[in-house]
A and B are shown apart, each in its own frame.
Chain A
Amino acid sequence: MEMTVAEAGAGVTCIRLNGRLDAAGADAVGLRFTAAIVPPGRNAIIDLSGVTFMASMGMRLLISTARALSFRQAQLVLFGAQVLVQDVLEQAALDQIMPITASELQALQALDGFAG
């Protein structure tokens, strides 16, 4: 699992993930993922288009990071999941507790107060 960090717009962090977000993948990027998102306390969008597989440990990482970010009054939005990954996210009901959009633009628009 690989990740890159970028700016998606004014004050929005964009994390792009590539690979498997299973237990091994979550292990590989977990600390960097959390460190890139939580301490800055800014809204963040997560590009899942490069994620080929998602399992519960990957979802735990997303949930725990989103919760930590919410304590700083910031949001985390997922976008671009492949069909099978989207299905797993929905089966786990993650779409009920955090925004999951199809595109990066929609992810930005889902952030409260986004002015783009």
Chain B
Amino acid sequence: MTSAAFLSSAADAPEEGIALKVMLDAGPAAIDVARRAVLDFLAPHGLSPKAAYAVELVLEEVLMNIGWHAYDEQSRHEARLTIRVGADEVLMRFEDDGSAFDPTRQAESAPPGSLADARPGGLGLRLVRRFARHIGYERRDGSNRLTVGIGRQ
């Protein structure tokens, strides 16, 4: 059973924002529920199509990465996502209490020069870096906190 539930639309969220809890052990379907909630929230804010795509892409890539790397099989897979819309950017914050992982310190490999050289992995981080205006990470109180800013245009 998949779920993604609002923590609160106001009290636990920054102003002009929402907060979501995403149960990652439910797989890609849980990410889709979160995506729909995020898009519903963003709809009145007039993001450009490119910005909306970037938000969806970052959401997908970061949550998939958390699901893969942050947890072992015995623990619940949960991430918290808050989104705030500012004058010129959308600020997304992902928080999970899995293993420490700082994506900002991961080296980006050069793109493959041929199909034979292509390797799985690394594409998600590459895309987040290219579509985000800025990315920040901190480890605090046993949690990974990743902040991603995306321009509204």
**Which residues does A use to contact B, with CB under 8 Å?**
22-24, 27, 53, 55-57, 59-60, 63-64, 66-67, 70, 84, 87-88, 91-93, 96-98
Contact = CB atoms under 8 A, between A and B. Distances in A.
Contacts, number: 69
B142 interface: no
Interface stretch (B81-89, B94-102, B107-115): B107-115
- Name A's interface SS: helix
Nearest to A60: B120
Contact of A91 (B31, B114, B130): B130
Interface of B: 27-29, 31-32, 49-50, 53, 56-57, 60-61, 64, 111-118, 120, 123-124, 126-127, 130-131
B29 A24 contact: yes
Nearest to A84: B53
B53 A63 contact: no
A88 B118 contact: no
B111 A53 contact: no
B120 A63 contact: yes
Contact of A57 (B56, B64, B115): B64
A92 B112 contact: no
A64 B29 CA distance: 23
Nearest to A85: B53
A79 to B, nearest CB: 17
A97 B112 contact: yes
